[in-house]
Amino acid sequence: MSATAATSRLINQQVVNVFIVDDHPIVRQGLRQLISQEDDMAVCGEAEGMSQAMQLYFEKKPQVMLVDISLENGNGIELVKELMAHDRDLKILVCSMHDESLYAERALRAGAMGYINKEMATDRLIEAVRRVASGQIYLSEEMTHRFLSRQIGQGEVAPPSPMESLSDRELEVFEQIGHGIKTRQIAERLHLSPKTVETYRENIKRKMNLANSVELTQHAVQWVLEKT
């Protein structure tokens, strides 16, 4: 391609505005630097929590939101739902260290267009942003195979774990319990009543076949330790 043609392509090329939502400043800085190296992308803003992200979204109006699961105040899945309630055309890519097998389907059900683990190579992240920006779904090959196998009923697909039976809110409460946070504090963080949190705790125990609160806490702590 000639220099003139290359310049013309860049001029006509639409730049995708990406907004980053992550509670770690170093991660946000790394993502910003990575995305800013691309001619067809630009970072238009960033936030560390759910409320800040919602406020700045209306100011920046990005084409793509890059969202983590664990946020300063709130949860990435809940943020996806909030954003999609305001703009069904917004493209969201969830980028997190959390287990893809547990969170990817939840992210897609909430309205995200893809899920990528932070441990993936940097070129995969750029590919994922481009694919989501163009309106396509992005998942790892393993997760894509799992979804397709389930759809066509072929191949060996692992049976769903008790964790997968938890609702998004129940999973969020379970994670808070695993971090040693008490019921009243969970209620304050999630803007719920303590009674509602207690109801979630009972639902989790029933779905995971746990005998009492001690077993619930033990399982929650173990799960948090395994995924960190």
Which residue blocks in 179-212 are alpha helix, DSSP H? 183-190, 194-207
132 with 199, same domain: the answer is no
Question: Is residue 14 in some structural domain?
Answer: yes
Give the domain extent around 213.
Answer: 162-226
Q: What is the pLDDT of residues 114-141, one digit of tens each?
A: 999 888 768 899 999 999 999 999 998 8
What is the tens place of the pLDDT at every residue in 16-28?
A: 999 999 999 999 9
Task: Answer whether residue 155 is part of any domain.
Answer: no
Interaxial angle between packed helices 194-207 and 183-190, expressed in degrees from 0 to 180 and rounded to the nearest 10: 110
Cβ neighbours for 142, distance < 8 A, ≥ 6 positions apart:
100
200 within domain boundaries: yes
User: Phi first, then psi: what are they for 154, rounded to 5°?
Assistant: -120, 160
Q: Provide the pLDDT confidence category of residue 188 given band limits of 50, 70 and 90.
A: confident
Q: Residues 32, 119: one domain?
A: yes
Query: Residue 190 to residues 71, 72, 135, 186: CA-CA distances in angstroms?
Result: 12, 12, 31, 6
pLDDT of 12 over the 50 cut? no
Tens digit of pLDDT for each residue in 76-95?
A: 999 999 999 999 999 999 99
Q: How many domains does the chain have?
A: 2
Q: Of 28-42, 50-64, 139-153, 189-203, where does mean pLDDT reach its minimum?
A: 139-153
Residue 54, in any domain of the structure: yes
Domain co-membership, 36 together with 138: yes
- Rounded Cα gap, residues 184 and 69, in angstroms: 22
Residue at 157 is within a domain: no
Q: Which of 99, 125, 149 is where one domain is finished?
A: 149
Question: Do residue 63 and residue 145 come from a single domain?
Answer: yes
What one-letter code names the amino acid at 73?
N
| 211 assigned to some structural domain | yes
**Which residues, including other chains, have CB under 8 Å from residue 189's CB and lie 6 or more apart?**
73, 176, 181
Task: Indicate if 135 and 176 belong to the same structural domain.
Answer: no
CATH of the domain at 176: 1.10.10.10
17 and 76 fall within a common domain: yes
- For residue 94, list its beta bridge partners: 67, 115
pLDDT tens string 35-68: 999 999 999 999 999 999 999 999 999 999 999 9
Q: Are residues 129 and 221 in the same domain?
A: no
176 and 139 belong to one structural domain: no
Specify the pLDDT at position 157: 53
pLDDT for 198 equals: 94
* Residue in 54, 50, 53 with CA at minimum distance from that of residue 73: 50
Q: What is the mean pLDDT of the segment spanning 187-206? A: 91
- The mean pLDDT value of the chain amounts to 86
Q: What mean pLDDT comes out for the span 199-209?
A: 93
Q: Are residues 201 and 177 in contact, defined by beta-carbon separation less than 8 angstroms?
A: yes
Q: Is residue 156 domain-resident? A: no
Strand order in the sheet with 16-21: 41-47, 16-21, 64-67, 91-96, 114-117
Residues 87 and 179 in one domain: no
